[in-house]
Structure 1
């Protein structure tokens, strides 16, 4: 039997938004399993779906580098938000992104590669920056997209400089059509991805476990409402369709026009340029997502530094 600690209850409360006693009961019912406890709370109508990956808990910058049919995005973390405003740090992150366009998403290969414009490797440049700026830094992750024909478009949200910010997106469009119009569409879709954070491009590539988990929660909710079994199946399928519209890129309402689905918006442009368009890749990096960061008393830190 897992011990239901105060820290565990607090974690569940942060993720679910449910009350403390409800969280404690949910953890007791599920033997301390956070994911199961979130589902338990949802079946009782006490919480909405939690998005752990949206919890930003570390600082730094995301950089994107796209050039026609290729593009890369990297995340470099630092200890404080102040470092993101440092021009040397910005140049470092931007340089690492340019290396990623050549080396792909292998972090170790990127770190071992020469940094642009010098003889030092990326890892050595990171080490130098740590010594100069005085904060620990790390290249956390990288992603790379490419297409034979079409475009790889990019977008940065909360940009602090060109190609640098808190959220970076790449979208790869495969098409034989006009690249200028494809680039405009690609950036619009990238902006949409920044706003909605879809879990997959299409229904078929959505994580089956996520679908089954949602289906189980919806089924339990329907049963607890007293609906007969012959009605529950139809109810669940209807709600699963709604779930797809919330988390699948092509099924979402396009934020640019607020009317068409993303798929319909793509089809309109495809008709305009006289060539099919396929979204073959999508990456969204937000600084610090999924990293736990120790909470601290900022006033106490300043006082300690002053002493």
Structure 2
């Protein structure tokens, strides 16, 4: 039986990020063979990941990465906001965004992409599940690019550069890339983070959403008792107001409170062609825990 020294345990822990006792047990099982111990930990991590995969993961982080006229945004979920403060998790999410920048936003392709650790994205998340002890998942990714111009990024609630709770990309076409255009793109990102537009242009508004809105407005207008011709004009006016609320280019620019976004872009000679906004946990149904009931259960009441 090989001697399992403290130094060997420490080396394995530094190499894998696993707990001290897990590393000691892995080395014991592997008879002191470090590489075999790494494999044992990976297999153990796979087992732990399977057990945790049913848990709701609605916390985590959003990260952005950019280069020249291209940028990516990803969302990686965990079970608690405690994990978001873990440096290893932050680094992994940051690296996953960089990987998306290289391989694109197809999730299966991204999961197979290699990270600096030598592990794939999927294996890195499995490794973190084993190390940290929470379910984690790569939820979504998006990459935007332009042939000429900039794709700017903005992160709200950043825990470190490019990593936070809300990530926005803004793709602006222009004859060339310059710092002024990039700064404008970041301002657009801040605007999108604050206003949550549903569409870029009027033509992009979801037809069913527009029909629902029009139906409500028609009923409201008819309640006034006015003639149909007047009702039609009232509804048209309110639809324009609806567009100003949900269409990015029609919104009032948050940075001055009076200009329209489209006018700001026209003035700077850029054309906003796409945007993306990822908010952490958006659309995930979270479990509501009754803390008092949990305490009573533990106390045996």
TM class by shorter chain equals 0.7 to 0.9
User: Residue 91 and residue 301 in structure 1: after superposition, are their counterparts in 2 closer, same or farther (change >3 A)?
Assistant: farther
| Pair 1:59 & 2:59 matched | yes
TM-score by length of 2: 0.78
- 1:83-122 residue pairs with structure 2 within 5 A? 83-115=83-115, 117-122=116-121
Residue 76 of structure 2 is matched in structure 1 by 76
Distance in 1 (alpha carbons) for counterparts of 2:105 and 2:129: 23
Greater relative contact order (CA < 8 Å, ≥ 6 in sequence): 1
Deviation at 1:243, TM superposition (A): 0.5
Name the SS of the counterpart of 1:250 in structure 2. Answer: helix
Where does the alignment leave 5 or more consecutive residues of structure 2 unmatched?
Answer: 1-56
Residue 214 of structure 1 is matched in structure 2 by 213
Please say if residues 148 and 177 of structure 2, whose CA atoms lie closer than 8 Å, have aligned partners that are also in contact. no
Name the SS of the counterpart of 1:81 in structure 2. Answer: coil
Please say if residues 150 and 177 of structure 2, whose CA atoms lie closer than 8 Å, have aligned partners that are also in contact. no
Q: 2:286 aligns with which of 278, 293, 297?
A: 293
Deviation at 1:281, TM superposition (A): 1.1
- 1:45-56 residue pairs with structure 2 within 5 A? none
- 1:239-254 residue pairs with structure 2 within 5 A? 239-254=238-253
Residue 236 of structure 1 is matched in structure 2 by 235
Residue 256 of structure 2 is matched in structure 1 by 257
Figure out how many residues of one structure are paired with residues of the other and give that number. Answer: 244
1:41-72 C-alpha deviation (Å, 9 max, x unpaired): xxxxxxxxxxxxxxxx9211000111120100
| Pair 1:158 & 2:157 matched | yes
Name the SS of the counterpart of 1:125 in structure 2. Answer: helix
Distance in 1 (alpha carbons) for counterparts of 2:299 and 2:182: 51
Deviation at 1:202, TM superposition (A): 1.0
Name the SS of the counterpart of 2:82 in structure 1. Answer: helix
Distance in 2 (alpha carbons) for counterparts of 1:304 and 1:108: 41
User: Residue 132 and residue 178 in structure 1: after superposition, are their counterparts in 2 closer, same or farther (change >3 A)?
Assistant: closer
Deviation at 1:137, TM superposition (A): 0.3
User: Residue 238 and residue 165 in structure 1: after superposition, are their counterparts in 2 closer, same or farther (change >3 A)?
Assistant: same
Residue 8 of structure 1 is matched in structure 2 by none
User: Residue 254 and residue 140 in structure 1: after superposition, are their counterparts in 2 closer, same or farther (change >3 A)?
Assistant: same
Distance in 1 (alpha carbons) for counterparts of 2:104 and 2:298: 41
TM-score by length of 1: 0.76
User: Residue 80 and residue 210 in structure 1: after superposition, are their counterparts in 2 closer, same or farther (change >3 A)?
Assistant: same
User: Residue 61 and residue 301 in structure 1: after superposition, are their counterparts in 2 closer, same or farther (change >3 A)?
Assistant: farther
Deviation at 1:104, TM superposition (A): 1.3
Instruction: Name which one, 1 or 2, has greater alpha-carbon Rg.
Output: 2
- 1:134-173 residue pairs with structure 2 within 5 A? 134-173=133-172
105-114 or 295-304: which moved more? 295-304
Distance in 2 (alpha carbons) for counterparts of 1:202 and 1:261: 13
Deviation at 1:178, TM superposition (A): 4.9
1:123-171 C-alpha deviation (Å, 9 max, x unpaired): 0000000010000000000001001110000000011111111100000
**CA-atom RMSD, angstroms?**
1.7
Deviation at 1:225, TM superposition (A): 2.7
Deviation at 1:103, TM superposition (A): 1.6
1:245-294 C-alpha deviation (Å, 9 max, x unpaired): 10111110000111100011112222xxxxxx111110000001111011
User: Residue 94 and residue 299 in structure 1: after superposition, are their counterparts in 2 closer, same or farther (change >3 A)?
Assistant: farther
- 1:11-26 residue pairs with structure 2 within 5 A? none
Residue 16 of structure 1 is matched in structure 2 by none
Deviation at 1:119, TM superposition (A): 2.1
